Amino acid sequence: MDLGGINPAVLIASLMVASVPIMLAALGELVVEKAGVLNLGVEGMMIMGAICGFVTAVETGSPFLGFIGGALGAMALSLIFAFLTQVLQANQVATGLALTLFGLGLSSLIGQGYVGIKPPATAIVPFGPLADIPVVGRILFSHDPVVYLSIALVAGVWAVLKFSRTGLVIRAVGESHDAAHALGYKVTRIRILAILFGGAMAGLGGAYVSLVRVPQWTDGITAGAGWIALAIVVFASWKPWRILIGAYLFGGITVLQLNLQAAGARIPVEYLSMSPYLITILVLVIMSSGKGRASLNAPVALGQNFHASR
Amino acid sequence: MKRRTLLTTAALGLGLAFGGAAHAQAMDKVKACFVYVGPIGDGGWTYQHDQGRLAVEAAYGDKVETAYQENVPEGADAERVLTQMALSGCNIIFTTSFGYMDPTNNVAAKFPAVKFEHATGYKRDSENVSTFGARFYEGRAVIGTIAGRMTKTNKIGYIASFPIPEVIRGINSTFIHAKKVNPDVTISVVWAYTWFDPAKEADAAKALIEQGIDVIVQHTDSTAPLAEAAKTDGIIGFGQASDMAAYKPSPRVSSIIDNWAPYYVKRVGALLDGTYAQVDSWEGISAGEVEIGEITDAVPAEVKAEAEAIRDAIGSGTYHPFTGPLNKQDGSVWLTEGQTAPDGDLLGMNFYVEGVTGDIPQ
């Protein structure tokens, strides 16, 4: 089955790969925002994950350790954010933006000696004969482990937020930190843990860019993926499965427009490049009209600092 | 008499003013500033400009001071950066991307004492703006030849950045020379709308490979397309702007190297010794501004020899990459037999040559 020279199975398979970084980062940010913290430093954390993951993978020769290193590197950066906003009560928006700038600069510094080096290859999960099934095999059984991990994590975050006590506590902290505090929950500690989780996920996403998707290190490699992740969180109205849809939509349209061009389709590329952003705006308008902020589903305490003395 | 004296004095004054403009003063020390569109570590375009900056430092030592700013977006931000540089005492400012054209001219009008050098543009609104470029299409002719000989599927993929004459020239030159050695060849152009976005460039390469393309030519700045090509056997590509030697011997089988050092050294030198004047410089292989990187052993010896012969013919001036007969995409005649393209046509090129499919986005 071909659509204007594009094999849909191949297209879906490549959009799944293209979406992984933004999906992971958006998922992490979703948990952070659910806990009531707005961390705009996703881009900075992603690129720290990209360089730390790259360095670890190159030095150890193991892509698995690379992903761990990437997650840890970005976590370390998010710890700065946690310290500034949760302990020193700094403004979250300004701190987040600064974190991005700092991350971009620091990653460039760390990456000085790593330009032009090839990282060890991340193997594809061997599904044996399953991968040879036509269409389905190409779409479902021909990926590296992180693609499956990212989907599993979406399910995991969804389940934890919806069904578990932990999820309830995180949501409570994000909706009303005063009430959560009155009930005896350690608001600051919970938020710091959420920020660290967000950092780890952004780091994984960043490491995926430098280890699998591009496999190399260049300055500024994430090229704005962190900002798209932030947009996806809003697009998904803070619901995990919609993150999956949002990421596939963004990743899919990027891949689709390039594929359409390569296949020689006569479609103006400018419109396709804009479309994910247009859709986001459209969704935001639809969601925010009518029933007001409640329908937007944004955590009520989002972006507000908390101090026990208040 | 008095009036005459006054007139004489005025004339003398005018003469001095004009003379002063024509013969710039020699300077003891020059501060040369550079505006980069990407990071120095991109391994491509910006990296090569920075090599040029380092060459200036090496050539003049204490007599020159350099400064640069990376990742400057094309547009209003560039104007801010340029103004800042001009205010901070830069004597000459090199703006190294096409999109800085209007900001460069706007800021130059406000700072007549500062010299501006804009890469790959064509606007010189005030006297202190010079433009410089390199005839990359000469290099494209060489790699187009290799591409045409090397492709087994007869499909060449081209990752283009923005639909500007510079890029369109490259596509045409590549296609003409691939077609010359392989009449069955077709070219697929993907517009990435970015100079530097490794993930997008890798995706573009991937999309092309999935369409059965086995030779990838890029006009974007990162090494990502080569990294993507390296994942699949039998795909080759070329270093762009820089040698990209890390991907030797394959997928990178050769490269087009921009060597800005001779020009930068010449211009800063002219400012130092007072011979500086506005120019519109466009040099190619013959002046050493465009170099062809080592052609690796992945290319058969006879193809390598053929490519080198073209390189040398262009370098010595015996061959022009755009020599007729050549038709435009719509079949109308552009160049007749033996006619070579005038620079004006090349600088404003906004059409594909016959045989290239697809439309140029407007």
Domains B24-135+260-283 and B137-257+291-347 share a fold: yes
Per-residue pLDDT tens over the stretch A108-161? 899 888 876 778 888 888 887 877 787 788 788 888 899 999 999 999 999 999
Give contacts of B 302-361 with A, CB under 8 A.
357-359, 361
Are B223 and A218 an interchain contact pair (Cβ–Cβ within 8 Å)?
yes
Q: Which of B40, B189, B223 sits opposite A216 (nearest CB)?
A: B223
Amino acid found at B331: G
Neighboring chain B residues of A219 at a CB cutoff of 8 Å:
38-42, 70-71
Is A192 part of the contact surface with chain B (CB cutoff 8 Å)? no
Fold of A8-296: ABC transporter involved in vitamin B12 uptake, BtuC (1.10.3470)
Question: Tokens standing for B5?
Answer: 């004296």
- Reported confidence tier of residue A35, pLDDT bands at 50, 70, 90: very high
**Domain residue ranges in chain B:** 24-135+260-283, 137-257+291-347
Calpha distance A293→B204 (Å, rounded)? 39
Return the pLDDT at A295: 56
| Residues B335, B338, B344, B346, Cα dihedral to 10° | 70
pLDDT at residue B342 is higher than 50: yes
On the CB side of B339, CA atoms within 13 Å amount to: 12
Architecture of domain B137-257+291-347: 3-Layer(aba) Sandwich (3.40)
Calpha distance A237→A239 (Å, rounded)? 6
pLDDT at residue A310 is higher than 60: no
More confident residue, A63 or A272: A63
Return the pLDDT at B9: 46
More confident residue, A2 or B100: B100
Q: Which residues pair with residue B292 across a beta bridge?
A: B256
Number of C-beta neighbours around residue A62 at 10 A: 15
pLDDT at residue A65 is higher than 60: yes
Return the pLDDT at A234: 85
What's the alpha-carbon Rg for chain B, to the nearest Å?
Answer: 22
Judge if the upstream peptide bond of residue B325 is cis by omega within 30 degrees of 0.
Answer: yes
Is A18 part of the contact surface with chain B (CB cutoff 8 Å)? yes
Calpha distance B156→B172 (Å, rounded)? 12
Is A270 part of the contact surface with chain B (CB cutoff 8 Å)? yes
**Domain residue ranges in chain A:** 8-296
Q: What is the mean pLDDT of residues B207-216?
A: 90
pLDDT at residue B12 is higher than 70: no
Is A215 part of the contact surface with chain B (CB cutoff 8 Å)? yes
What percent of chain A clears pLDDT 90, i.e. is strictly above it? 53
Q: What is the mean pLDDT of residues B65-74?
A: 90
Give contacts of A 114-143 with B, CB under 8 A.
115-118
Q: β-strands B236-241, B252-258: how paired?
A: parallel
| Residues A174, A179, A185, A186, Cα dihedral to 10° | 70
Does the pTM surpass 0.80? The reply is no
On the CB side of B190, CA atoms within 13 Å amount to: 36
Q: Which of B41, B199, B224 sits opposite A115 (nearest CB)?
A: B41
What is the C-alpha end-to-end distance of chain A, expressed in Å?
63
- Closest Cα of chain B to A261: distance in Å? 5
Give contacts of B 13-72 with A, CB under 8 A.
38-43, 70-71
Return the pLDDT at B11: 45
Q: What is the DSSP string of B294-358?
A: PP-TTS-HHHHHHHHHHHHHHHHTS--SSBSSEEBTTS-EEE-TT-B--HHHHHT--SPBTT--S
Q: Count Cβ atoms within 10 A of the Cβ of residue A139 and give its class: 0-12 exposed, 13-18 middle, 19 or more buried.
A: middle
- Reported confidence tier of residue A290, pLDDT bands at 50, 70, 90: low
Return the pLDDT at B19: 39
Mean pLDDT estimate for chain B: 88
Return the pLDDT at B294: 92
Q: Three-state SS string across chain A, please? A: CCECCECHHHHHHHHHHHHHHHHHHHHHHHHHHHCCCCCCCHHHHHHHHHHHHHHHHHHHCCHHHHHHHHHHHHHHHHHHHHHHHHHCCCCHHHHHHHHHHHHHHHHHHHHHHHCCCCCCCCCCCCCHHHHHCCCHHHHHCCCCHHHHHHHHHHHHHHHHHHHCHHHHHHHHHHHCHHHHHHCCCCHHHHHHHHHHHHHHHHHHHHHHHHHHHCCCCCCCCCCCHHHHHHHHHHHCCCCHHHHHHHHHHHHHHHHHHHHHHHCCCCCCHHHHHHHHHHHHHHHHHHHHCCCCHHHHCCCCCCCCCCCCCC
Fold of B24-135+260-283: Rossmann fold (3.40.50)
Question: Tokens standing for A120?
Answer: 């060890």
Per-residue pLDDT tens over the stretch A146-196? 999 999 999 999 999 999 999 999 999 999 999 999 999 999 999 999 999
- Closest Cα of chain B to A53: distance in Å? 16
For B102, the 3-state DSSP assignment is helix
pLDDT at residue A283 is higher than 80: no
- Reported confidence tier of residue B24, pLDDT bands at 50, 70, 90: low
What's the sign of the alpha-carbon dihedral B243, B245, B249, B250?
A: negative
Neighboring chain A residues of B203 at a CB cutoff of 8 Å:
14, 18, 254-255, 258
Per-residue pLDDT tens over the stretch A215-239? 888 888 888 889 889 988 988 889 9
Q: What is the mean pLDDT of residues A298-303?
A: 85
